[in-house]
Amino acid sequence: MIADHFWTPPSLARSLLRFVTIENPVCIADVAVGDGRLLTCALEKWPAAEVLATDIDRRLVGVLKRTQPTWKVGKADFLRRRSVAHCSALRENVGKIALVLMNPPFSCRGASRVHAELDGIDVECSPAVAFVVSAAAFLSPYGQVIAILPAGCVTSDRDRAAWRVLRSRGSVRIVARHPKGTFAECSPRTVVLHFELNGASSRRRRARAPRAGADRRREAKGTVELVRGTLQMHAASESKSKAAPVLIHTTSLRGRRLDLARTIRTDSGRWSTSGPAVLLPRVGEPSVEKVVLVRETRRFVLSDCVLALRTGKPKEAEALYRKLIVEWDALGRLYQGTGARFVTCRRLTRFLGRVGFHVAVRTT
């Protein structure tokens, strides 16, 4: 990524600090540090704080290493996961940073949309907002990000999903607006964002820190077939035959068990699949109580509101089930939507890949 450099005016750098509500931040970071003036101003106010500084520009990183020997300085493209994984300064501080100050690149030629991730949720957004989303993953409980952003990102369609994810994790406020001419070298209108992580959302991140050289295929725990049901309930025909497979809808998933009293048998057998598998809803209010392990190899039919994660052996299904229960906080957050909440096969596939499973997708 090639980024333009527009240094933060000293007066603006100091003004950012008045929006910080942490009394004595232990660790302060800037992941697009430039010439370091945001961190220099922060140290004037909190001289005892630890400082972490990274930038994509090797030359700037070299200068800071020579001039700021007490800082933790590293080279990283903060919007590339592999680059972050190879930066020890970042890798070792997931979940530890109390305050992130930043004036991230606005234009980033050739990258009008990029991907960013927070708590297992991947969003596509502008580069500037992607810096905020990615930085939130490094915050300690109730940690804060104070960022200068282009004013247009607040209302742009391309950043809508990113703002939704940030608001689900903490408080988002625009605390200041600046007109054109604030930066001498360019003319965008800008805003100052204050993001504070909700402490309840902070159970994570050190265990999720990216590891340099990690080969996910080599670490994978097994192969999972993700089966999406397609049979609509109103189209299901009931069968009196005890040999017919049962129809599983979200109402059948209760208390981490199959509620067979709420199922019917159906002769819509062409939509059937079989266990061993883990069942979970595709649509509806997410709940760990709706995650169900099916050890048997019997066949069943899925409604269009249910997903099955099939494995080759019962023990593999049990291992997958236990993993989903442990990772439920992250899994539950994959369910999104302005009306009925739902999870997409794409989001679930990415999540399973992150926790060590290969995934093949099919529909019944």
Q: Is the dihedral angle over the CA atoms 215, 217, 220, 225 positive or is it negative?
A: positive
Question: Looking at domain 10-208, which CATH architecture does it have?
Answer: 3-Layer(aba) Sandwich (3.40)
Give start-end residues of each CATH 3.40.50.150 domain in the chain. Answer: 10-208
Q: Is the pLDDT at 333 greater than 70, yes or no? A: yes
Mean pLDDT of 38-48: 93
pLDDT of residue 298: 81
CATH 3.90.220.20 range(s) for the chain read 216-363
Percent of the chain at pLDDT > 70 equals 85
User: 67 CB contacts (<8 Å, ≥6 apart)?
Assistant: none
Assess contact for 181 and 187: CB atoms under 8 A.
yes
Q: Which of 186, 37, 32 is nearest to 102 (CA)?
A: 32
pLDDT recorded at residue 271 = 66
* pLDDT score of 7: 58
Q: Looking at the chain, how many residues does it have?
A: 364
Q: Does domain 216-363 have CATH number 3.30.70.3420?
A: no
**In this predicted model, which residue has the larger pLDDT, 242 or 316?**
316
CB 326 within 8 A of CB 296: no
What is the distance between the alpha carbons of residues 287 and 94, in angstroms, rounded to a whole number?
27
Confidence tier at 207 by pLDDT (50, 70, 90): very low
Which ranges in 176-313 belong to alpha helices (H)?
A: 216-219
> Terminal CA-to-CA distance of the chain, rounded, Å?
41
User: How sure is the predictor about 340, in pLDDT bands with cuts at 50, 70 and 90?
Assistant: confident
Q: What is the pLDDT of residues 281-308, one digit of tens each?
A: 999 999 999 999 998 888 889 999 999 9
